[in-house]
Structure 1
C-alpha cells in the first residue's frame, strides 16, 4: 500500500527530514514517479485514487503467502481506509458499533473514525487501545481533508513514512519503496502510535507522554530521518484542537 499526502495535509515532525537526502548520489523521487513504480510492480491488481491537490492512495492485495498480513481497502461516505493485519475482537467491536457480522477490519475502522469525528466523546487513544490484534491503517477523510494513521504496539505489522522530493509525506508498508523515494528522509512509523492532521504524532499506549526523536545513522554513516519514541519523563496536555468541519473530532487525551 502507498499513501502520499501534500505538505499541509500531513505536517510530519521536522526530524523526519534529513539534509543527507539532498546530498545523496540519487535524488528523492517525486510522488508521481513513486506511484508509477508502485503500479508497475502490481500490474494486474494495483490501483490508485487521487484526491485533487491533496494526495492519493494506492493499493494492491497481498501476495498469497502465510507471511503476508491481511490487506484491505474500503471506502464509506468519502472516508477511505487501507488496513493491514487483523483484529481478534472484530466480532465484538462490530456488535458494539452496530455493524453487520460480515464487516471487515477496514469497515470497522472507518465507522469508528466517523463516530469519533462526528459524535463520540471517547478519546481516540482509548479506542485504539481496545483493538486486540496486529494492525496498521491509514485513513484519508476527503470531507475534512484529514489523515489518520495508526499502528499496533506489538510490532507485528510495519509501516514506514518519509518525505518525497516535493515535500509530500509518503506512508507505506514497503520499506524499499519508501527508501527509493525518500532516500535518507524516512523512518519506521512508531509502534503504538497514531497521527492525525490536526493533532500530530502521539502514543496511544502512553497518551500523556510527549514523543521524542532519536537520530538514525545508516550503514554508510549518514544521518537519516529520526526514529520516534515515547519520552517517559515528559508529559503533555494532549487535547486535540478542533477547527472548522473537524470541530467534533474526539479529544486525544
Structure 2
C-alpha cells in the first residue's frame, strides 16, 4: 500500500523532516520523485496493482499480497461515496463490529472502516480514540475523504503491522507498509508510524491508546550517524490540558474541526 498527500492538504509533523534534509539540499539528490516511486510500486505489482489520483491533493496505490508471501498481512481496498480506504492486517472482533454498526455479514475490514467512518462522520457522537480502541486486532489503514479533502491514518498498538511515513522533497507526506518506498522518496526524512496512534490531516498526531497524553518526538540517528526523522512516543509526564470531546465534534471524521 502507498498513500501520498500533497503539501497543503496535510501538515505533517515537522519532526519527521531530517535536519540533514533541511540544512543540506544534497540530502535529496538521490531521492526519487513521487512519480518514480509510484512507478516502482506498480511495476513490482504489475499483475494486480493499481493507483487512484485525486487531482493535486492525494494518491492511493494498492496491491493485494503476493501468494508466495504466506506470512504477509492481508491487504484490502474499498471506496464508497468518495471515501477510500487502504487496509492491512485483520480485526478479530469484526463480526461483533458488523453487528454493532448494523452492516451486512459479507463486509470485510476495509469495508467496515469506510462504513464506520461514514457513520461516525455523519451521525455518531463517539470520539475517534474510543472508536479505534474498540478495534481488536493487528491493523493499519489510511483513509482519504475526497469530499471533505481530509486524510486519516491509524496503526494498531500490538506492533504486528508496520507502517512508515515520511516527508518527500516537495513537502508531500507519504505513508506505506513498504519502508523502501518511503526511503526512496523521503531520503532521511522518514520514521516508523507510531503504534497505537492516529493522524488527522488537520489536527495532527494523537495516541488513541493514551488520548490524555501528548506525543513526544525522539531524535533518531541511522547507522551512519546521520539524523533521520524522529520517532514519536507517548509522553507519560505531559498531559493534554483539556479532556477530548465526546460530542459529534470529536468523532474521527471531524476531529480537526473543533469549535
Give the TM-score normalised by the residue count of structure 1. Answer: 0.93
1:54-203 mapped onto 2 (5 Å cutoff): 54-64=57-67, 65-203=69-207
Structure 2 stretches of 5 or more lacking a match?
none
Q: Is residue 164–residue 193 contact of structure 2 (8 Å, CA) maintained in 1?
A: yes
User: How far apart in 1 are the matches of 2:235 and 2:257?
Assistant: 17
| Alpha-carbon offset, residue 58 of structure 1 | 0.5
User: How far apart in 1 are the matches of 2:235 and 2:26?
Assistant: 31
| Alpha-carbon offset, residue 172 of structure 1 | 0.2
Q: Is residue 11–residue 204 contact of structure 2 (8 Å, CA) maintained in 1?
A: yes
RMSD (Å), alpha carbons: 2.1
Where do 4+ consecutive residues of structure 1 move more than 6 Å? none
**Aligned pair 1:11/2:14, yes or no?**
no
Q: Give the alignment partner of residue 31 of structure 2, picking from 3, 28, 31.
A: 28
SS in 2 for 1:33: helix
Q: Is residue 2–residue 57 contact of structure 1 (8 Å, CA) maintained in 2?
A: yes
| Alpha-carbon offset, residue 28 of structure 1 | 2.7
| Alpha-carbon offset, residue 120 of structure 1 | 1.0
Q: Is residue 124–residue 251 contact of structure 1 (8 Å, CA) maintained in 2?
A: no
SS in 2 for 1:32: helix
1:209-224 mapped onto 2 (5 Å cutoff): 209-224=213-228
User: How far apart in 2 are the matches of 1:120 and 1:250?
Assistant: 13
| Alpha-carbon offset, residue 227 of structure 1 | 0.4
User: How far apart in 1 are the matches of 2:243 and 2:173?
Assistant: 23
User: How far apart in 1 are the matches of 2:139 and 2:107?
Assistant: 16
User: How far apart in 2 are the matches of 1:247 and 1:14?
Assistant: 22
Relative distance call for 1:28 and 1:238 in structure 2 (3 A) is farther
Give the TM-score normalised by the residue count of structure 2. Answer: 0.91
Count of aligned pairs between the two proteins: 249
Q: Is residue 219–residue 229 contact of structure 2 (8 Å, CA) maintained in 1?
A: yes
- Give per-residue Cα distances to partners, 1:67-123, cap 9 Å, x unaligned: 100100000100000000000000010111111111000010011111221121100
110-119 or 193-202: which moved more?
110-119
- Give per-residue Cα distances to partners, 1:214-236, cap 9 Å, x unaligned: 00000100000000000001111
User: How far apart in 1 are the matches of 2:207 and 2:196?
Assistant: 6
User: How far apart in 1 are the matches of 2:135 and 2:28?
Assistant: 43
Q: Give the alignment partner of residue 254 of structure 2, picking from 238, 249, 252.
A: 249
